[in-house]
Amino acid sequence: MTAAPPCVFCEIVAGREPASIVCDEDLVMAFMDIAPATEGYVIVIPKAHVPRLDDLDDETGARLFTTVLRIQSVLRAVLRCDGINLLAFDGEAAGQEVPHTHFHVVPRYVGDSVEWLECELLEPRREELDELAASLHRGYVERYPG
């Protein structure tokens, strides 16, 4: 019997996989998507392995969504995007590819080519993701100190 591969998001939380971190708090983490549909695409996760939304406890769920709201606000301020998509794919039938609860916070721009769910993904270099993550992190800390 083959063991299931480790959860990539848990590996990021543990520091065993690279990520361009936007915020890292006690219960949640946000980082740049490695295959973004638009510039500034962020993933927000609970740090604990929680496969489905139903598995979230109230405190973690509240903190997760608060962080999602804060990230979208920072994206609007830092990137001056025209809109935001908030997406959660909960379960395989809904298109969830990583079995760890997460939200996609997707900046939208007038005239972008995103057509859910079929779009051409960007291929940024890690340095570009790190630079953007650092910029968003600064905006996050400025707006939400402590």
All residues at 6 or more sequence positions from 52 whose CB lies less than 8 Å from its CB, including other chains: 90, 91, 99, 101
The catalytic residue among 49, 102, 104, 137 is 102
The dihedral formed by the CA atoms of 68, 69, 73 and 74, expressed in degrees to the nearest 10 = -30
The dihedral formed by the CA atoms of 59, 65, 68 and 69, expressed in degrees to the nearest 10 = -120
Closest by Cα among 146, 123, 144 to 39: 123
- Is 100 a catalytic site residue? no
Give me the active site residues, please: 102
